[in-house]
C-alpha cells in the first residue's frame, strides 16, 4: 500500500523491515528527548545497510543511490528515524569521488565492517547558514599538518561519530577572487584530537545535533581531501545525493503517518460511523496521498539520473521540496484525523510530526530550492 | 557437507487468517506471506554448520509462485541455491502428500542433512519432518535445541518438557529444530543483493516425477466440511462486591470448573 510500484526492491524493503521490526515505537519514544539509538544503529550496521554505498572492493555493498534511498525510506516508514545514521550515506560521495586512494583505504574498510562511523558533517556556522561561502572556520598549514580554529553549529551526531568531514576556509574570503574559492574539505578521526569541544543542542526532535568548537586543533596533513581550495565543489557533489535521500525519508514518514491515520479513521466511530466517512477527515488524507505519490515519482527520477551519472540538481531539489511538503501535509492531516490521540505520545504521530517538520528547513530551506529552480531552471533573475 | 533446508511460506503470524469459501483452503491473498518462523532457525543452523564444516545449503520449498519470496529470503540469509516445487496440482495437499512430494525432490541429491523447523505456524502438525525421514528411509532427529556434527555422526539435544534427551544418528538424517537453538540472522544488504544472482531450480509435478493422483485436495486424507469465523469476544461478567464478592468469585470459578 501507498507505494510507487518498484517490485525489484521488495526484497530490500523486507530485509530493512525485519531489522526495524525489533525497534518499535516504544523503542523510539524511549529515546526522547535526546538519546542516540545505539542498538538500532548497531543492528543496521551489522546487517550491512549503513555500508551500502561503500564500494564492494572496500567490503561495502556497492549500492546505487536508489537502493540507499529505499533503505532510509523503509526505516522512516517503519516508524524509526533514520536521521541517526543517514549522514554515513550522504557524505560518502565526497570521499568516494574526491578522496585519495590512501584515504579510502584508511577509512572505507572500517566503515564497511562497522568499526568506524562517519556520521558527522561540519559545514554550517553560527554566522553562515545557507550562504556557505561565508564560513569563517580556518585551516592553516603548520609543520604537523593543519591547524583548525573556529566553530560549527548543527553538526549532528558529532558525539556519536568517529570521523568528521569538515569544510573550512584555507584562504580568507576577502582574499579570494570568487567566494566559492579558498574552501577546503578535510576528513579526520575526531577521537585522536585535542582542542575540540562538542556541546549538544536540545531541539524539538531527537536529532543529536551539536555545536563544535575548534581551538588550535591540529589534524594530520593527509586529512585534506583533493586539492586545497576546491572544497566547495567537492561538498556540492554530495548535496544532490543528500537531497534524494532526505526526500526518501520524507516519503517514508508520509507513508507511516498516512497508514496510521487511514487505519484510525476507518476504525474510530463518532456519531455512529467511522470518522473516515467524513470528507473533512478523508479528503486531506487523500490529498496527502496524491502528493506523496507525486513526490515519490520525482524522487525515483532524481535517483535514477544520479545513478546514471547524469545531472540531477533540479530533480534532486524538486524531490526534496515536494517530499518534505507532502510528508508535512500528511503528518498534519494525520494529527487532525487522530484528534486528541494524535497529541498523545504513545501514538507516535506527534513524534513523526516533529521529525518530518525539520525537512522543510534542513538540509536546505525549501525557499532556497524555489530560488534555485527560479533562477537556474526557469532562467529568472536571482531573487536573493 | 550438503544440507537441505525445507522452508514453508505461511500467512503472517499476526494477520487475521481466512479460509476460502470455494474449497475451504487457506486464503493466501488475505494476508502477507512470510517464511515460517521456525524455518528461519533451521536456515540459521544450516548456515552455522556449513560455516563451521564447509559445504553448501540448498533451500527447498513447495508452494505457489509467491512462495519464491521465501526461497529468496533464505538465499539472502546466505543459502547457496534453491529448489521450488510449484504446480497447481499441489494445491490443498495434506501432510502425507507434502512429505511424499518433498521426499521425492530430496532423494538422490546427496544431502547429508535435511533440516526443518519443527512445525509451521499455520498447520501446526509437526509431522512432516518425521514423514519425510520415513519416506527417505533415514534417521529422524526432531525438536533439536542443539546440533553437533562430527564426521558422519550428528548429535542433537532433543527438547522435552522437562529438559532434553541426547540423540545421535549417522548421516544422512533429518533434523527438525525448535526456537531455542539459535537467533536467526537478518538478511544483510549484501546477502539480499547476492540472492538475486543465486540459482533457483523451479520444478513442476511432472519435472519432479511425481504421481499427481497422490497430491492436492482430492487426495487429502482429511476434508474440511464446514468452518466458521471465531465468535466475537463476549462481554465479561462483572461481579459486584456487596460484602460477598469473594464467595461470588469462588462460585464463578467453581462453575467454570477452574476450582
With an 8 Å Cβ cutoff, are A61 and B195 in contact? no
* pLDDT band at residue B237 using 50, 70 and 90 as cut-offs: confident
The pLDDT, as a whole number, for residue A2 is 64
Q: What are B70-128's pLDDT values in tens digits?
A: 999 999 999 999 999 999 999 999 999 999 999 999 999 999 999 999 999 888 889 99
In the DSSP assignment, the letter for residue B35 is E
Q: How far is CA A353 from the centre of its chain?
A: 17
Closest Cβ–Cβ partner in B185, B186, B192 for A12: B192
For residue B44, the chain A residues in CB contact (below 8 A) are none
Query: Could you give the CA distance from residue A286 to residue A235 in angstroms, rounded to a whole number?
Result: 38
Ramachandran quadrant class, A285 (left: phi over 0; alpha: psi -120 to 50; beta: rest): alpha
In the DSSP assignment, the letter for residue A279 is H
In chain B, which residue's Cα lies nearest the Cα of A20? B186
Query: Are B33 and B10 in contact, with CB atoms under 8 Å apart?
Result: yes
Closest Cβ–Cβ partner in B73, B189, B195 for A47: B189
pTM reported for the whole predicted model: 0.86
With an 8 Å Cβ cutoff, are A15 and B190 in contact? no
The pLDDT, as a whole number, for residue A264 is 97
In chain A, which residue's Cα lies nearest the Cα of B32? A14
* Helical ranges in chain A per DSSP H: 10-20, 25-31, 38-46, 65-77, 87-90, 92-98, 101-113, 231-267, 279-307, 313-338, 349-357, 366-372
Angle subtended by helix axes A231-267 and A313-338, to nearest 10: 30
For residue A18, the chain B residues in CB contact (below 8 A) are 186-187
Burial status of residue B199 (CB atoms within 10 A of its CB: 0-12, 13-18, 19 or more): exposed
The pLDDT, as a whole number, for residue A1 is 53
For residue B193, the chain A residues in CB contact (below 8 A) are 61-63, 67
Beta strand pairing call for A183-189 and A224-225? antiparallel
In chain A, which residue's Cα lies nearest the Cα of B34? A14
In chain A, which residue's Cα lies nearest the Cα of B185? A47
Query: Are A231 and A167 in contact, with CB atoms under 8 Å apart?
Result: yes
Query: Could you give the CA distance from residue A82 to residue A88 in angstroms, rounded to a whole number?
Result: 11
Contacts of residue A245, defined as CB under 8 A and 6 or more positions apart, other chains included, come to: A65, A68, A69, A72, A86, A89, A90
Q: What are A86-118's pLDDT values in tens digits?
A: 888 888 888 998 999 999 999 999 999 999 999
Domain residue limits, chain A = 7-113, 118-232, 238-377
In chain B, which residue's Cα lies nearest the Cα of A50? B189
Beta strand pairing call for A183-189 and B139-150? unpaired
Query: Could you give the CA distance from residue B217 to residue A34 in angstroms, rounded to a whole number?
Result: 57
Query: Could you give the CA distance from residue A125 to residue A135 in angstroms, rounded to a whole number?
Result: 6
* Shortest Cα–Cα distance, A15 to chain B (Å): 6
* Shortest Cα–Cα distance, B189 to chain A (Å): 5
Return the exposure string of A106-145: e unless at least 16 CB atoms fall within 10 Å of the residue's CB, then b: bbbbbbbbbebbbbbbbbbbeebbeebeebebbbeeeeeb
The pLDDT, as a whole number, for residue B240 is 85
Query: Are B6 and B84 in contact, with CB atoms under 8 Å apart?
Result: no
B170-176 average pLDDT score: 97
The pLDDT, as a whole number, for residue A231 is 95
Closest Cβ–Cβ partner in A11, A19, A62 for B76: A11
For residue A14, the chain B residues in CB contact (below 8 A) are 69, 73, 187
Which of A61, A88, A92, A259 is most worth mutating to test chain B (most B CB atoms within 10 A of its CB)? A61
The pLDDT, as a whole number, for residue B30 is 80
The pLDDT, as a whole number, for residue B221 is 93
Query: Could you give the CA distance from residue A264 to residue A269 in angstroms, rounded to a whole number?
Result: 9
Q: Is domain B2-219 classified as CATH 2.102.10.10?
A: no
With an 8 Å Cβ cutoff, are A11 and B189 in contact? no
Output the CA–CA distances (angstroms, integers) from residue B166 to A1, B42, B116, in the order listed: 48, 19, 18
For residue B190, the chain A residues in CB contact (below 8 A) are 48, 61
For residue B196, the chain A residues in CB contact (below 8 A) are 11
For residue A67, the chain B residues in CB contact (below 8 A) are 193
Q: Could you tell me which residues are beta bridge partners of residue B169?
A: B154
In the DSSP assignment, the letter for residue B4 is E
- The sign of the torsion formed by the CA atoms of A276, A280, A283, A287 equals negative
Fold classification of A118-232 (topology level): Butyryl-CoA Dehydrogenase, subunit A; domain 2 (2.40.110)
In chain A, which residue's Cα lies nearest the Cα of B195? A11
Closest Cβ–Cβ partner in A14, A43, A48 for B190: A48
With an 8 Å Cβ cutoff, are A47 and B187 in contact? yes
Query: Could you give the CA distance from residue A222 to residue A199 in angstroms, rounded to a whole number?
Result: 27
With an 8 Å Cβ cutoff, are B76 and A43 in contact? no
* Helical ranges in chain B per DSSP H: 37-53, 68-77, 95-106, 128-136, 189-195, 245-255
With an 8 Å Cβ cutoff, are A11 and B190 in contact? no
The pLDDT, as a whole number, for residue A45 is 93
Contacts of residue B63, defined as CB under 8 A and 6 or more positions apart, other chains included, come to: B8, B9, B70, B84, B85, B86, B90
Query: Could you give the CA distance from residue B45 to residue B40 in angstroms, rounded to a whole number?
Result: 9
Contacts of residue B111, defined as CB under 8 A and 6 or more positions apart, other chains included, come to: B2, B3, B4, B58, B172
With an 8 Å Cβ cutoff, are B189 and A61 in contact? yes
With an 8 Å Cβ cutoff, are B193 and A63 in contact? yes
Closest Cβ–Cβ partner in A19, A43, A61 for B190: A61
For residue B186, the chain A residues in CB contact (below 8 A) are 15, 18-19, 43, 46-47
Per-residue pLDDT of chain A (384 residues; tens, 9 = 90+): 567 788 889 999 999 999 999 999 999 999 999 999 999 999 999 999 999 999 999 999 999 999 999 999 999 999 999 998 888 888 888 899 899 999 999 999 999 999 999 999 999 999 888 889 999 999 999 999 999 999 999 999 999 999 999 999 999 999 999 999 999 999 999 998 999 999 999 999 999 999 999 999 999 999 999 999 999 999 887 889 999 999 999 999 999 999 999 999 999 999 999 999 999 999 999 999 999 999 999 999 999 999 999 999 999 999 999 999 999 999 999 999 999 999 999 999 999 999 999 999 999 999 999 999 999 999 999 999
The interface residues of chain A toward chain B in range 66-105, judged by CB-CB distance below 8 A, are: 67, 71
In the DSSP assignment, the letter for residue B212 is G
Fold classification of A238-377 (topology level): Butyryl-CoA Dehydrogenase, subunit A; domain 3 (1.20.140)
With an 8 Å Cβ cutoff, are B192 and A11 in contact? yes
Query: Are B43 and B74 in contact, with CB atoms under 8 Å apart?
Result: yes
Query: Are B80 and B191 in contact, with CB atoms under 8 Å apart?
Result: no
In the DSSP assignment, the letter for residue B198 is S
In chain A, which residue's Cα lies nearest the Cα of B69? A11
Helix (H) or strand (E) holding B141: strand B139-150
Query: Could you give the CA distance from residue A156 to residue A206 in angstroms, rounded to a whole number?
Result: 10
Q: Give the three cell numbers for residue A11.
A: 526484497
Q: What are A275-323's pLDDT values in tens digits?
A: 999 999 999 999 999 999 999 999 999 999 999 999 999 999 999 999 9
Contact residues of B toward A, CB < 8 A: 69, 72-73, 76, 185-193, 195-196
For residue B188, the chain A residues in CB contact (below 8 A) are 15, 46-49
- Please state, as a whole number, how many other Cβ atoms lie within 10 Å of the Cβ of residue B208: 15
- CATH assignment of A7-113, among 1.10.540.10, 1.10.260.40, 3.80.10.10, 3.40.50.620: 1.10.540.10
With an 8 Å Cβ cutoff, are A48 and B191 in contact? yes
- Please state, as a whole number, how many other Cβ atoms lie within 10 Å of the Cβ of residue B97: 22
Query: Could you give the CA distance from residue B57 to residue A160 in angstroms, rounded to a whole number?
Result: 39
Query: Could you give the CA distance from residue A125 to residue B223 in angstroms, rounded to a whole number?
Result: 73
B138-167 average pLDDT score: 97
In chain A, which residue's Cα lies nearest the Cα of B190? A61
In terms of Cα–Cα distance, which of A239, A282, A240 is closest to A262? A282
What is the full DSSP assignment across A285-351?
HHHHHHHHHHHHHHHHHHHHHHHTT---HHHHHHHHHHHHHHHHHHHHHHHHHHGGGGGSGGGSHHH
* Shortest Cα–Cα distance, B238 to chain A (Å): 25
Query: Could you give the CA distance from residue B90 to residue B95 in angstroms, rounded to a whole number?
Result: 11
- The sign of the torsion formed by the CA atoms of A332, A337, A338, A339 equals positive
3-state secondary structure of A72: helix
Amino acid at each position: 500500500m501507498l507505494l510507487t510500484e518498484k517490485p525489484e526492491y521488495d526484497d530490500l524493503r523486507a530485509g530493512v523491515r525485519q531489522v526495524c521490526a525489533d525497534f518499535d515505537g516504544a523503542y523510539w519514544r524511549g529515546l526522547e528527548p535526546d538519546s542516540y539509538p545505539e542498538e538500532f544503529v548497531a543492528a543496521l550496521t551489522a546487517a550491512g545497510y549503513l555500508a551500502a554505498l561503500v564500494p564492494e572492493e572496500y567490503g561495502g555493498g556497492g549500492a546505487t543511490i536508489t537502493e540507499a534511498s529505499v533503505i532510509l525510506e523503509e526505516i522512516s516508514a517503519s516508524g524509526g528515524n533514520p536521521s541517526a545514521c543517514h549522514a554515513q550515506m550522504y557524505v560518502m560521495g565526497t570521499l568516494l569521488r574526491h578522496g585519495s586512494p590512501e584515504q579510502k583505504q584508511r577509512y572505507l574498510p572500517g566503515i564497511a565492517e562497522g568499526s568506524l562511523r562517519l556520521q558527522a558533517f561540519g559545514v554550517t556556522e553560527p554566522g553562515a547558514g545557507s550562504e556557505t561561502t561565508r564560513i569563517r572556520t580556518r585551516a592553516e598549514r603548520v609543520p604537523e599538518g593543519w591547524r583548525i580554529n573556529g566553530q560549527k553549529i548543527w553538526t549532528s551526531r558529532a558525539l556519536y561519530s568517529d570521523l568528521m568531514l569538515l569544510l573550512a576556509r584555507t584562504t580568507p574570503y576577502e582574499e579570494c577572487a570568487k567566494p566559492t574559492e579558498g574552501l577546503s574539505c578535510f576528513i579526520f578521526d575526531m577521537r585522536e584530537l585535542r582542542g575540540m569541544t562538542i556541546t549538544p543542542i536540545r531541539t524539538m526532535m531527537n536529532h543529536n545535533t551539536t555545536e563544535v568548537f575548534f581551538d588550535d586543533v591540529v589534524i594530520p596533513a593527509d586529512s585534506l581531501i583533493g586539492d586545497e581550495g576546491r572544497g566547495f565543489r567537492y561538498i556540492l557533489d554530495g548535496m544532490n545525493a543528500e537531497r534524494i535521500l532526505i526526500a526518501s525519508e520524507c516519503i517514508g514518514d508520509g507513508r507511516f503517518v498516512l497508514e496510521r491515520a487511514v487505519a484510525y479513521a476507518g476504525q474510530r466511530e463518532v456519531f455512529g460511523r467511522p470518522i473516515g466517512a467524513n470528507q473533512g477527515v478523508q479528503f486531506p488524507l487523500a490529498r496527502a496521498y496524491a502528493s506523496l505519490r507525486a513526490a515519490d515519482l520525482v524522487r525515483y527520477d532524481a535517483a535514477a539520473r544520479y545513478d546514471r551519472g547524469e545531472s540531477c540538481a533540479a530533480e534532486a531539489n524538486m524531490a526534496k521540496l515536494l517530499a518534505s511538503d507532502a510528508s508535512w501535509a500528511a503528518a498534519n492531516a494525520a494529527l487532525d484525523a487522530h484528534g486528541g490521540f494524535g497529541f498523545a505520545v504513545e501514538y507516535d504521530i506527534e513524534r513523526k510530526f516533529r521529525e518530518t517538520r525539520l525537512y522543510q528547513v534542513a538540509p536546505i530551506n525549501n525557499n532556497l530550492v524555489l530560488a534555485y529552480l527560479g533562477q537556474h531552471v526557469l532562467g529568472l533573475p536571482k531573487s536573493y | 557437507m550438503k544440507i537441505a533446508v525445507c522452508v514453508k511460506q505461511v500467512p503472517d503470524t499476526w494477520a487475521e487468517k481466512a479460509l476460502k469459501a470455494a474449497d475451504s483452503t487457506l486464503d493466501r491473498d488475505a494476508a502477507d506471506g512470510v517464511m515460517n518462523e521456525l524455518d528461519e532457525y533451521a536456515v540459521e543452523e544450516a548456515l552455522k554448520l556449513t560455516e563451521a564444516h564447509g559445504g553448501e545449503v540448498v533451500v527447498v520449498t513447495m508452494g505457489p509462485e509467491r512462495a519464491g519470496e521465501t526461497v529468496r529470503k533464505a538465499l539472502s540469509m546466505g543459502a547457496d541455491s534453491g529448489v521450488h516445487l510449484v504446480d497447481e496440482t499441489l494445491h490443498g495437499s495434506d501432510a502425507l502428500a507434502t512429505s511424499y512430494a518433498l521426499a521425492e525432490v530430496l532423494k538422490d541429491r546427496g544431502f547429508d542433512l535435511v533440516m526443518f523447523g519443527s512445525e509451521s505456524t499455520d498447520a501446526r502438525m509437526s509431522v512432516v519432518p518425521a514423514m519425510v525421514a520415513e519416506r527417505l528411509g533415514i534417521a529422524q532427529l526432531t525438536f533439536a535445541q542443539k546440533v553437533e556434527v562430527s564426521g558422519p555422526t550428528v548429535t542433537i539435544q532433543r527438547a522435552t518438557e522437562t529438559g532434553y534427551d541426547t540423540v545421535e544418528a549417522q548421516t544422512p538424517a533429518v533434523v527438525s529444530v525448535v526456537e531455542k537453538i539459535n537467533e536467526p540472522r537478518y538478511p544483510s544488504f549484501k546477502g539480499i543483493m547476492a540472492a538475486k544472482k543465486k540459482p533457483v531450480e523451479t520444478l513442476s509435478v511432472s519435472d519432479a516425477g511425481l504421481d499427481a493422483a497422490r497430491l492436492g485436495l482430492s487426495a487429502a486424507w482429511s476434508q474440511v466440511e464446514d468452518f466458521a469465523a471465531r465468535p466475537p469476544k463476549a462481554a465479561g461478567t462483572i461481579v459486584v462486591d456487596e460484602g460477598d464478592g469473594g464467595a461470588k468469585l469462588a462460585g464463578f470459578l467453581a462453575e467454570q470448573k477452574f476450582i
